[in-house]
Amino acid sequence: MILKFIGNKRLIDFFYIFLIFALDRISKIFVLNLSEKYSQLELYQSSFVNIFLIWNKGIAFGLLSFERNNLYNLITVLILVIILILFVLVFKSEKLKKMSYIFITGGALGNLFDRIIYNSVPDFIDVHFREFHWFIFNIADIFITIGVICLIFDEIILERKRHD
């Protein structure tokens, strides 16, 4: 009965969202286990990428980091509401927009899970060139960023072509 209500297309959407969530969880569990095993936060270094575990209490790329529990909880609830809206957008969208919302939703669920379980999000990918370091991020952030870039591309480029 439930499967009939949900439908095959929505099941596929859920599968992709779950796949992104699972990739994020697996990568974080791997890094957390390595960090615990070797009792260190810096796990790998190269010329352009380091694996360096930090705990992010803010939102994307450590923005709005804070210690106040009420504000943290408010932002967590806000993220949950946004994820629910994203689910609706996934089911109402098509093509590139649908995949963009799937990417964002899967990544957002991964980071929301961490906010609830750990009270912060483990970030560990440190991309750098010489002394310039980008914000440290995780797999969920990659999917969220790709999803947002695809949405922007769809709105600016593809939407213009649809109206020409």
Q: If you compute the radius of gyration of the chain from its CA atoms, what whole number of angstroms results?
A: 18
Quote the percentage of the chain above a pLDDT of 70: 85
Q: Residues with Cβ < 8 Å from 25, sequence gap 6 or more? A: 110, 113
On the question of pLDDT at 139 being above 90, the answer is yes
Structure token digits, residue 96: 């590139």
Q: Kindly state the average pLDDT of the residues 126-139.
A: 87
Catalytic one among 13, 114, 123, 126?
A: 123
On the question of pLDDT at 161 being above 80, the answer is no
On the question of pLDDT at 3 being above 60, the answer is no
Contact between 74 and 68 under an 8 Å Cβ cutoff? The reply is: no
User: Using N-to-C axis directions, what is the helix angle for 95-118 and 8-38, rounded to 10°?
Assistant: 40
- Closest of 71, 78, 104, 107 to residue 90, by C-alpha: 104
In the prediction, which pLDDT does 111 show? 96
pLDDT band at 57 (very low <50, low <70, confident <90, very high): confident
In the prediction, which pLDDT does 152 show? 93
The tens digit of pLDDT for each residue in 27-56 reads: 999 999 999 887 877 767 778 888 889 998
Catalytic one among 24, 114, 126, 141?
A: 141
Residue appearing with tokens 């689910």? 87
Q: Kindly state the average pLDDT of the residues 134-163.
A: 88
Is 123 marked active-site? yes
Q: What is the pTM of this model?
A: 0.83
The region of weakest confidence among 76-80, 146-150, 155-159 is: 155-159
On the question of pLDDT at 158 being above 80, the answer is no
Q: Kindly state the average pLDDT of the residues 86-91.
A: 94
The tens digit of pLDDT for each residue in 95-121 reads: 999 999 999 999 999 999 999 999 999
Q: Regarding beta strands 121-129 and 132-133, do their DSSP bridges make them parallel or antiparallel, or are they unpaired?
A: antiparallel
User: Can you tell me the distance from the alpha carbon of 89 to that of 70, in angstroms, rounded to the nearest whole number?
Assistant: 29
Domain boundaries, the chain: 2-163
Q: Residues with Cβ < 8 Å from 50, sequence gap 6 or more? A: 42, 44, 126, 128
On the question of pLDDT at 130 being above 90, the answer is no
